[in-house]
Amino acid sequence: MIPVAFPIGLAIILFCLGIIGFIVRKNAIVIFMSLELMFNAANLLFITFANQFQQVDGHVFVIFIMVTAAAEVAIGLAMIVTIFRGKHSVDIDQLASLKG
């Protein structure tokens, strides 16, 4: 089998790509997708360690993370739709109304 370090390294790389996407992109929908990428990297870590320590608890936590991600996406996309109705844009740089 493969060394445990490889999937962990893949998770780290995916997480960092998610961070880059989250900060660099201006489209709110793409930002949410980058967030999903980071959730996915965390899930990969859970599954890898569940495999290494032969414990199923990691799988349970992955299920919880999936539920949380689904809830977050539902709320987030509802917010994006609401913002789009008011501003006619999903560019987060346009959303500076709270700046004071």
Range 11-30, binding other proteins (CB under 8 A): 12-21, 23-27, 29-30
* Minimum separation from the CB atom of position 72 to other proteins (A): 8
* Minimum separation from the CB atom of position 51 to other proteins (A): 5
* Minimum separation from the CB atom of position 65 to other proteins (A): 10
Q: Which is nearer to other proteins, 34 or 97 (CB)?
A: 34
Instruction: Establish if 98 lies at the interface with other proteins (CB under 8 A).
Output: no
Site for other proteins in 68-97 (CB under 8 A): 68-75, 77-82, 84-86, 89-91, 93
Question: Rounded to 10 degrees, what is the CA torsion of 54, 13, 10, 36?
Answer: 70
Q: Which of 79, 78, 75, 80 is nearest to 90 (CA)?
A: 80
Measured from the Cβ of residue 100, the count of other Cβ atoms closer than 10 Å reads 4
* 19-36: burial string, b at 16+ Cβ within 10 Å, e else: eebbeebeebeebbebbe
